[in-house]
Amino acid sequence: MAKEKPWSGRFTEPTNAIVETFTASVFFDRRLYLYDIMGSIAHAQMLAHVGVLTKKERGAIVKGLKEIEAEIDADKFSWSVALEDVHMNIEARLIERIGEVGKKLHTGRSRNDQVATDLRLYLRDGIDVVSDAIAQLQKAILDLAEREAGTPAPGFTHLQVAQPITFGHHLLAWFEMLVRDAQRLRDCRKRVNIMPLGAAALAGTSYPIDRAYTAKLLGFDAPAENSLDAVSDRDFAIEFVSAAALLMTHLSRMSEELVLWSSAQFGFVELSDAYCTGSSIMPQKKNPDVPELVRGKTGRVTGHLVALLTLMKAQPLAYNKDNQEDKEPVFDTIDTVLGSLRVFAGMIPGMKVKRDHLLRAAVMGFSTATDLADYLVRQGVAFRDAHEIVGKAVRLAIDTDRDLSQIDLDEFKKLSTAIGKDVYGVLTVEGSLAARNHLGGTAPTQVKAAVKRARKRLIRPGK
């Protein structure tokens, strides 16, 4: 493959070897090869469509590009650092394969609009794959939520037992987080799917190109309206990584709960051996390494978001070499998010729920105290007064080492004459759960109905 640089005409000395390696991006941007070839084929077809290339020239270029794609797929392609990037490597190989006609491919375009197009094509597919992975995790969560729709569990605030809920209801909160993540990605995809090709270096081209024709070939919704903006901004990449950072933050919160729940101190769940590791020194250990690592990888993706924001914050229009640094954060974000989603989707179905432990925890900490306050309000007591009465009842239970349900009726009546013998019905976990029988509530019947609705709300790529 020829190693002469495509821009070397005005230079009188070769590039310094250190600079050549420092400025090259082929080490990482070669993963764009499929999209670079896709864009080049569409560009060649458009050039033939408007008469800049002959049909014979177009045919030779398209055939040559497809053969290069096969070479790369078979790992028989020789990548050159001297040719800097994926674009020049493929173009040089095309010229080597088909001769002078290969030099015509770059007519009416620049590497500036070429790379922006490649990245958008790559990211569009990445969003679809991530969206599908979210849906797979959501399905796993819904299956478990349906199975545990009636399982009593402690609901926490400040990591203190607050009120009884069902374990299925808690899992549906995870589902809702992922719904919003999928929605953000779907919305982001609309802005990704705009075509920069035809903007050339920054000002467009004097050739009679048909950008709408190229956009249709590549499945873009429309060509970019402004050539300067098309080649220079990476807000679409920042938006994606921002949505991905939020997604990872949600996965991190889930991970933290799994780490806590699987500990001996909580004992709410047991993760499958296939998703845990042991200790090299302590034979009894079963470590929740998967959720711990997902929690750690969240910082990695958040770091990529900060890097991209910083990359763009002081760039003048139009394209600058800084933008070469946009790809690795995007690539690694997709890899990290996909890996995290897929391992979570595999881990959730094999998780054993310890219902007896959850029930014991659900009755701890006077979790039905709010139900007692609600009971008093229904008896005509003002809420603030009810709050005070229940606080005194809790104090009594603490001092006598009892649960609220173990306080005698006579003792309750000393606190408020509004309390009758029917109060004990609201002081059980089952009664508390059943009372919250409304849309979004934790009653088992509501959880089952919510699962059924949720299955219809799953967002899939392109939907």
**DSSP letter string, 135-179:** HHHHHHHHHHHHHTTT-EEEEEETTEEEEEEEHHHHHHHHHHHHH
- Is the pLDDT at 2 greater than 50? The verdict is no
Determine the average pLDDT of the residues in 352-366: 94
Give dist(CA 25, CA 328) in Å, integer.
10
Q: Kindly report the length of the chain.
A: 463
Whether the Cβ atoms of residue 154 and residue 367 lie closer than 8 Å to each other:
yes
- Is the pLDDT at 232 greater than 80? The verdict is yes
Q: May I ask the CATH architecture of the domain 112-151+166-199+229-354?
A: Up-down Bundle (1.20)
Eight-class DSSP state of 15: P
Return mean pLDDT, the chain: 94
> Which residues have CB under 8 Å from 2's CB, separation 6+?
92, 95, 96
Q: Which helix (H) or strand (E) holds 294?
A: helix 289-312
Identity at 430, one-letter amino acid code: E
Give dist(CA 355, CA 151) in Å, integer.
7
- Is the pLDDT at 159 greater than 80? The verdict is yes
Could you tell me the pLDDT band of residue 333, with boundaries at 50, 70 and 90? very high
Q: Is CATH 1.10.40.30 the right assignment for the domain spanning 361-457?
A: yes
Catalytic residues: 158, 279
Q: What is the pLDDT of residues 161-177, one digit of tens each?
A: 999 999 999 999 999 99
Q: What is the pLDDT of residues 23-82, one digit of tens each?
A: 789 999 999 999 999 999 999 999 999 999 999 999 999 999 999 999 999 999 999 999
Within 13 A of 360's CA, how many CA atoms are on the CB side? Answer: 8
CA 376 to chain centre: 45
Could you tell me the pLDDT band of residue 14, with boundaries at 50, 70 and 90? confident
Write down the domain spans for the chain: 8-107, 112-151+166-199+229-354, 361-457
Give dist(CA 379, CA 373) in Å, integer.
10
For 8-107, CATH gives 1.10.275.10
Q: What is the pLDDT of residues 80-98, one digit of tens each?
A: 999 999 999 999 999 999 9
- Is the pLDDT at 109 greater than 70? The verdict is yes
- Model pTM score: 0.92
Check residue 411 and give its pLDDT.
94
Check residue 1 and give its pLDDT.
44
